[in-house]
Structure 1
Amino acid sequence: MLHSIKSPKHLLLFGMAILLGLSLMFTPFFKAEASVSWGQEVVEVAKRSIGTKFKWGGSSPKTGFDSSGYTHYVFKTSAAKIQLPKTSKDQYKQGKAVKKDQLKQGDLVFFNTNDKDVSFVGIYDGKGNFLAATSKGVKYQSLDTKYWKDRYVGAKRVLKE
């Protein structure tokens, strides 16, 4: 009688071992995971400074940013490690021109806010908005507002594709 009680337990353990073995046999050892794009990485780094105050000539989250100081800082400190020039006018000379309807996350968007030439830059987030250091600090802006539409100059892709 004692022997008949042990058998079902041994059978159960044996069955569980076989199921575990089969499940391991059909389970891949490496999971496929989606990789983060350079643009996503840059936007994530850019988001960390939302709320940072504006400072003319500023290029640090501790002291504040102006628009080109912000983009310079984000690209330099992100995994992309891209060293952009210090001014928006010089940043506009970098990269490959991108049409507005072909913008991707991490593209630089440029504006004329001084009625002369390129004077403002932001980082496109991929959803019709961009992050920028405005006079009210680092925040999201919409490309669709009249103010930015009227001042839009173009966009550049400086990230690897």
Structure 2
Amino acid sequence: MRTAPARRTARGALVALLTGAGLVLTPLAAQAAAPDTAAVAAAPAAASTAKAQIAVDTALAQLGDPYVWAAAGPNSFDCSGLTQYAYKAAGISLPHSSKTQSTMGTYVAKSDLKPGDLVFFYSPVSHVGIYIGNGQMVNAPTAGSVVKITNINSMPSYNTARRLA
């Protein structure tokens, strides 16, 4: 069942309020709805900056929303549309292109990833997700799927990562 726009807005305000209070939310109901997130063993780690935390929390609030090519929210997303939407909530403007997003911010080694970092896949870059800690990212993977949590090591062709906030 889809939530009404007013209810989603209230949910977003609650996420922002709790985030501001230093609480990290774990969307268990959304994870339970997506079968391949069952491997998620730990709650997402806290981000190192407030803007990165807002982006992470905003992306996690979209779990279960359908993948739609070229969509950038609020009820459906493609991969770069999700990252664009999440970072817009944090006050950071991104283009709607994973390849272009991969040139923004600063380079981050895979071993130094922090929640909120953008992680990119394939060469040339054609997929992006938001790292949430514990080797996991939130992403809108492909047609017929939904926004979900994925282990970055289960993805083929890791390319690079960038830090925006």
Q: TM-score, normalised by structure 2?
A: 0.67
What SS class does the counterpart of residue 60 from structure 1 fall into?
A: coil
If each structure's strand is expressed as a fraction of its own residues, which one has the higher value?
1
Q: What is the letter of the counterpart of residue 127 of structure 1?
A: N
What SS class does the counterpart of residue 71 from structure 1 fall into?
A: helix
The alpha carbon displacement at 1:75 in A equals 0.4
How many angstroms apart in 1 are the aligned matches of 2:112 and 2:87? 20
The alpha carbon displacement at 1:41 in A equals 2.3
How many angstroms apart in 1 are the aligned matches of 2:78 and 2:153? 22
Q: Provide the residue aligned with 2:112 in structure 1.
A: 102
Tell me whether 1:84 sits opposite 2:94 in the alignment: yes
54, 62, 65: which one aligns with 1:49: 62
What SS class does the counterpart of residue 134 from structure 1 fall into?
A: coil
Q: Provide the residue aligned with 1:59 in structure 2.
A: 72
Q: TM-score, normalised by structure 1?
A: 0.69
Q: What is the letter of the counterpart of residue 52 of structure 1?
A: D
Structure 1: gaps of 5 or more residues:
1-32
Superposed CA deviations along residues 58-86 of structure 1, whole A, max 9, x for unmatched, are: 00132x11000110011002xx2100111
Structure 2: gaps of 5 or more residues:
1-20, 24-46
What SS class does the counterpart of residue 149 from structure 2 fall into?
A: strand
Q: Provide the residue aligned with 1:152 in structure 2.
A: 158
119, 122, 134: which one aligns with 2:126: 119
What SS class does the counterpart of residue 140 from structure 2 fall into?
A: strand
Which structure would you say has the larger Rg? 1
Q: Provide the residue aligned with 1:4 in structure 2.
A: none
What SS class does the counterpart of residue 49 from structure 1 fall into?
A: coil
Sequence identity, in percent? 38
The alpha carbon displacement at 1:126 in A equals 1.5
| Structure 1 residue ranges (4+ consecutive) displaced by more than 4 angstroms after TM superposition | 33-36
Q: Provide the residue aligned with 2:17 in structure 1.
A: none
Taking only aligned residues, the RMSD between alpha carbons, in angstroms, comes to 1.7
Q: Provide the residue aligned with 2:139 in structure 1.
A: 132
Aligned length: 118
Q: Provide the residue aligned with 2:44 in structure 1.
A: none
What SS class does the counterpart of residue 129 from structure 2 fall into?
A: strand
What SS class does the counterpart of residue 101 from structure 1 fall into?
A: helix
How many angstroms apart in 2 are the aligned matches of 1:151 and 1:127? 19
